[in-house]
Amino acid sequence: MNTKPSPSGLSDNAVTITRVADRQWHALEDDLVVGRGHALHRPDGRLFVSIDAWHDTTFDRLVEAMLAELPSPLYTVVDEADIELTAGWRRAGFTVRRREWEYVVPTDPRVTGLEAALPPSGVTIVPAGEADEKPLRAVDRAIRDEVEASVGWQSMPAEVVARPAGDTIVDPTKYAVAAASDRYLGLIRVVTAIRPRIGLLAVRAGEQRRGIARALLAHALRELHVSGFAEAWTEVHESNHAASALFEGIGARPMSSNLELVR
């Protein structure tokens, strides 16, 4: 929510900050809740904070109270277009750690040009809901280890769904995979709870540049198109030039950008 300058006459002492639960704060003015602060551990172990407040004064009081009680480092994510909110976090000492572009992706193969995008010889696409769970978990773990050993998994789009420690496959039915005769080589996860979202598209390092990612994407978008969805959404880290080129090459359009800030 955008913060606004405090109205004339509102003093800092008019707002009382109360910790109402573990990692949850309320800002009270005359017993009315005028702001809320939350802290949440992401599955990667990082602690993310958020504040919903209308006025700068309330925001600043909330962030001051939260910083006094929470360990460092702390992270938050804001819409880059929300200048006031970004300024509030900057006042509190947060700096930009990374930028993530949100793309809207057409699904019609006549628009994407993916009608003829087939996997390479010896590779087949296993539709979502049909992958064997054991090799699915194996390829997910292998890809994560490869990413962590290079650019670091934190460079991938943030995943916020709570899950048991070490369990990175939330719902195996959401994954389509690229399969060789003896193992899975890549995967794509699509969630359609509110709007179709491509949450993960990844291929093992030794199998890249063979057209596997393009074939997985073609399959997923084709399935969405058949189901009546004209568009899907995805997020790409600004440094992931290969992913940006892949999506922009099929007509995807950057619609907005998010900033991850850290203190």
Q: How far apart are the C-alpha atoms of 178 and 207, rounded to whole Å?
A: 10
Q: Within this chain, do residues 70 and 134 fall inside the same structural domain, yes or no?
A: no
**Does any domain span residue 6?**
no
Q: Within this chain, do residues 88 and 108 fall inside the same structural domain, yes or no?
A: no
Residue type present at position 155: S
Helix ranges restricted to H, the chain = 56-69, 83-91, 109-112, 133-149, 212-226, 241-248
**Does any domain span residue 66?**
yes
**Does any domain span residue 263?**
no
Domain of residue 42: give its range. 12-93
Q: Considering 93, 111, 142, which residue would you say is the last residue of a domain?
A: 93
Number of domains in the chain: 2
pTM of the full predicted structure? 0.77
Top-ranked range on mean pLDDT: pick from 19-33, 82-96, 186-200 = 82-96
- pLDDT digit string (tens) for 38-77? 999 886 788 999 999 989 999 999 999 999 999 999 999 9
Q: Within this chain, do residues 50 and 146 fall inside the same structural domain, yes or no?
A: no
Answer yes or no: is pLDDT of 152 > 80: no
**Does any domain span residue 1?**
no
- pLDDT digit string (tens) for 21-44? 999 999 998 889 999 999 998 867
Q: Within this chain, do residues 204 and 146 fall inside the same structural domain, yes or no?
A: yes
Strands 253-262 and 95-106: antiparallel
**Mean pLDDT value across residues 197-213:** 94
